[in-house]
Amino acid sequence: MNEPWSYLTDDEVFGANVKERQSIAAIRGKDDLPDICSQVTGQIRQAYIFSNRELGAEGTIPDGLKSHAVAIATWRFVSEGVPENSALQTKARQAANAEAVNYLNQIASLKIGRTGTPVFGRRGVDLPPRHFTDCTQDG
């Protein structure tokens, strides 16, 4: 595993004293941002599992995907179970969420990134061609 992994915390999405977080928690009757962060962590780890990539320590995500995780968690926190509010549910947040989810789908389907193991059934492109006869094996 070459990339660093770390935990996604709710403070990375919205700090505990941020008014947006307090307002949404009041509307919902609870502050479930830590639960959402845990679910987003699972979503990212699942994309890695689907693409046969190596995982970091349990409960961690690749540091390179932290901004995508924050975008997904932010959108879920401001939009799920909350009345429509254009001040919180901005087009930029919605677009960032859509882009992040699309990126994870591309990771899961091996359209981007590399896996730790080679894809079965493919030979390296720089290898010489193989020739076999009844008496010899070349390549």
Could you list the residue range(s) of the whole structural domain that residue 72 is in? Answer: 5-138
Q: Which residues of 10-22 are buried (b: 16+ CB within 10 A; e: fewer)?
A: bebbbeeeeeebe
Q: Is the pLDDT of residue 139 over 60?
A: no
CA dihedral defined by 87, 89, 93, 97, rounded to 10 degrees? 170
- The residue type found at 6 is S
Average pLDDT over residues 4-30: 93
Cα(138)–Cα(33) distance, integer angstroms: 61
Residue 128 DSSP SS3? coil
Q: Which DSSP letter does residue 119 get?
A: P
Q: Which DSSP letter does residue 47 get?
A: H
* Residue 82 and residue 28 in contact, taking contact as beta carbons nearer than 8 Å: yes
Average pLDDT over residues 122-139: 59
Give 112's pLDDT tier (boundaries 50, 70, 90): confident
pTM summary value: 0.79
Domain count, the chain: 1
How open is the CA angle 129-130-131, to the nearest 5 degrees? 120
